[in-house]
Homo-oligomer: A and B are copies of this chain.
Amino acid sequence: MKLAVVGLGLIGASVAKALAGRASITGIDRDPGAVKKALDQGVISRGGSDPSLARGSEIVVIAVPVGSIVGAAGDLIPHLDANAVITDTGSTKEAIVRAIDALWPCFVGSHPIAGKENPGFGASQPDLFSGKVTILTPGAATRNSCLQRVRSLWEACGSKVVEMDPVQHDGLMARISHMPHLLSFASMGLAHDLHIHRELLGAGFRDFTRIAASDPVMWRDIFLANREQLLELVESYIRELEAMAAIIRQGRSEELEELLRGYSSLRRELYASAR
């Protein structure tokens, strides 16, 4: 299999590492340092910054921040063979699928659910996708042969694969990923002079704020790309907070306990099968 990976950050380099030895892999990244590391470590067999390096690839994986994916596809397409399949790894799908479907006949959007807050080549690992889920978001006109080739790619990386409509994907991700990140980022607005109390930070604070350390460019792009669904949720959340604040302010003790009991039960049920 001849594979090109565009973007040798956490996700792209992890794809290359997962498939190293089983595919001929070309790495394309505007950062010469990342390309050199990938070459030195034998993760890719050739690399550079020029999109024309993708010529001859059977599969192209675009693993750059959400806001740069469509542009990267446009740069690559003049160099691709007609039978090449393109996929991406972006955390939002609706706008990306619509744009690239208009540019290329064999595109399938992918979203591997396998992030961590440290970005970059140095954080990549061959088993990043192992046992995790990758969501594929085919459009109405997607050819089944293209879909199957992208499915095989992720399965070869050790991932389970599910399919979902792009709009449904973005709505779900707004709730289970984009909102938690936005809320965790925003909580840092209350933390500006906490460095003097570092040893007092408990496990709750640590876990709640872990994703606030995430990559700012990646999340800027995600928040902007999924803004409509996200902003609706922010409004719902503010109403939830205001209702809770009113209950606390007025000392409605029984009501508060019931509310917290419901939240706590819901969280426990969500993970009941994983315990």
Query: Which residue of chain B lies nearest to A254 when distances are taken between CB atoms in the complex?
Result: B220
Question: Is the beta-carbon distance between A204 and B181 smaller than 8 angstroms?
Answer: yes
Question: Is the beta-carbon distance between A185 and B115 smaller than 8 angstroms?
Answer: no
Task: Count identical subunits in the complex.
Answer: 2
Interface stretch of the complex, out of A39-47, A141-149, A256-264: A256-264
A111 to chain B, nearest CB (A): 10
Task: Point out the residues of chain B lying under 8 angstroms from A261, CB to CB.
Answer: 216
Question: Is the beta-carbon distance between B187 and A253 smaller than 8 angstroms?
Answer: no
Known contacts A183-B187, A188-B266, A266-B191, A204 near B241 by CB under 8 Å: no
Give Cα A270 to B257, complex, Å.
Answer: 32
Question: Is the beta-carbon distance between A203 and B241 smaller than 8 angstroms?
Answer: no
Could you tell me the dominant secondary structure of chain A's interface residues?
helix
Question: Is the beta-carbon distance between A270 and B208 smaller than 8 angstroms?
Answer: no
Instruction: Pick from B133, B190, B237, B259: contact of A199, CB below 8 A.
Output: B133
Question: Is the beta-carbon distance between A237 and B269 smaller than 8 angstroms?
Answer: no
Q: At the interface, yes or no: A215 with Cβ under 8 Å from chain B?
A: yes
CB contacts under 8 Å to B, within A209-258, are: 209-217, 219-220, 223-224, 227, 230-231, 233-238, 240-242, 244-245, 248-249, 251, 253, 256-258
Question: Is the beta-carbon distance between A231 and B249 smaller than 8 angstroms?
Answer: yes
Closest 3 CB pairs of A and B: A216-B260, A188-B263, A180-B208
15 additional A-B pairs beyond A176-B194, A201-B270, beta carbons within 8 Å, are A114-B202, A160-B199, A175-B194, A176-B197, A183-B187, A188-B264, A204-B214, A206-B271, A207-B211, A212-B267, A216-B263, A220-B260, A224-B253, A224-B256, A238-B242
